[in-house]
């Protein structure tokens, strides 16, 4: 018997026992769908995390440093970073004003205390002239803060893309004046929107020179900074130098310091998600194994039902490998059809899970996941169909022909 004939007989056998074949495939369908959904959701979560780090900018170094005697770490860190132009693109304090702030322009009034809708949350942040570079913002118009703005504590501000649209709609805000807690600030520039899902507040910022920390932020301690390195390689060396520099004048007796990188955080999260995908995929694969056992059981029943047919074929000269091929192909076809149905169910399940768990409107499984799940289901059919196929091929023609 050739391969084409084996396929025809396998499909004929399946068609004759539609309900039993479907019930046999059910374990494979559920198993494949579970693998596809679980792995796809984890991959979607991983993609969202990577999107966040990309929008926030790569090669960022987060520095926490404070000296209890009140020594100005900001100036020291700023000067030290400027001495490494081959490694560092910029440095800025990373301060969010803690007290409630009210921003006004004309009849428009916004507040940082708006907790009713988190998508409209506004942040008043304080930074240096390199805040935009360090946090991966792109100017949409006007200019960024300048060194003189910081040094002279000029009443100027930069607006995030969303708050610019809220306050000014389609009007160019550059040169116009807003008030922050009643104090006038001239808008000298605005940033393009990041439009990062889950982080709308990144586009709802009002950036002021960090020297306003004394008057607007009750002179709170500045202990958080962002340093932007030129490359991934430069990030490692810059971190080493910064850590050594800070520990040169900060120790456990007079303060604290810590240096970390968003690059390592992104890698850690990606590794965790990969491990999570493997664990969840392994758990879901257990149902595939259960489905494989079901395939083996139903194929054993099929061998019993078709004992006489096998006897006739062997009596007219069919070889063992031909019998084995017929039953293996039948098992593989059953599992393959179950795998295709499971992939279809997995696509629908992934869309639903992506919408409700990740807020994604169109989360779909990747092609490698779908293809891998299908191939695994076919291989499973071959493996679990091997024993029934060998048993069928080993039947003696005389005994098989006596079967009713």
pLDDT in tens, 325-348: 777 888 888 888 888 888 899 888
Sheet with 224-229, edge to edge strand ranges = 88-93, 224-229, 60-67, 255-261
Query: At a CB cut-off of 8 Å and minimum separation 6, what does 241 contact?
Result: 84, 87
The more confidently predicted of residues 279 and 189 is 189
Q: What is the pLDDT of residue 35?
A: 82
First to last CA, the chain: 24
Q: What is the pLDDT of residue 309?
A: 72
pLDDT at 1 over 60: no
The structure's pTM equals 0.59
Backbone angles phi, psi at 209, to 5 degrees: -55, 140
Is residue 288 within 8 Å of residue 377, measured between CB atoms?
yes
Mean pLDDT of the 78-105 span:
90
């Amino acid at each position: 018997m050739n391969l084409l004939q084996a396929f025809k007989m396998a499909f004929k056998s399946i068609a004759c026992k539609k309900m039993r074949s479907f019930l046999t495939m059910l374990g494979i369908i559920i198993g494949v769908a579970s693998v596809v959904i679980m792995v796809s959701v984890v991959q979607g979560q991983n993609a969202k995390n990577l999107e966040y780090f990309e929008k926030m900018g790569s090669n960022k170094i987060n520095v926490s440093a404070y000296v209890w005697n009140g020594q100005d770490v900001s100036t020291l860190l700023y000067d030290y970073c400027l001495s490494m132009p081959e490694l560092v693109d910029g440095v800025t304090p990373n301060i969010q004003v803690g007290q409630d702030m009210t921003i006004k322009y004309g009849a428009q009034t916004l507040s940082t205390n708006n907790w009713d809708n988190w998508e409209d949350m506004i942040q008043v942040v304080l930074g240096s002239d390199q805040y935009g570079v360090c946090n991966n913002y792109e100017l949409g118009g006007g200019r960024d803060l300048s060194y003189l703005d910081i040094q002279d504590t000029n009443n100027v501000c930069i607006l995030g893309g969303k708050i610019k649209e809220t306050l000014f709609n389609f009007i160019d805000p550059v040169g116009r004046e807003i008030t922050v807690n009643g104090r006038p600030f001239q808008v000298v520039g605005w940033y393009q929107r990041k439009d990062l899902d889950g982080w709308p507040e990144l586009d709802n910022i009002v950036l002021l020179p960090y020297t306003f920390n004394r008057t607007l932020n009750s002179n709170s301690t500045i202990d958080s900074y962002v340093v932007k390195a030129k490359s991934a390689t430069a990030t490692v060396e810059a971190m080493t130098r910064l850590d050594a520099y800070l520990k040169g004048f900060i120790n456990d007796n007079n303060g604290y310091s810590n240096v970390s990188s968003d690059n390592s955080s992104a890698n850690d999260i990606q590794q965790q998600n990969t491990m999570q995908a493997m664990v969840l995929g392994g758990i879901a694969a257990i149902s595939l194994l259960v489905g494989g056992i079901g395939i083996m059981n139903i194929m054993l029943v099929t061998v019993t039902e078709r004992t006489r047919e096998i006897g006739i074929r062997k009596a007219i000269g069919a070889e063992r490998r031909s019998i084995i091929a017929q039953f293996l192909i039948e098992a593989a076809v059953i599992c393959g059809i179950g795998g295709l149905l499971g992939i279809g169910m997995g696509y629908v399940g992934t869309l639903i899970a992506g919408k409700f768990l990740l807020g994604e409107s169109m989360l779909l499984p990747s092609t490698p996941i779908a293809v891998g799940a299908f191939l695994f289901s076919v291989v499973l059919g071959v493996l679990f169909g091997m024993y029934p196929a060998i048993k069928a091929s080993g039947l003696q023609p005389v005994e098989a022909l006596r079967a009713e």
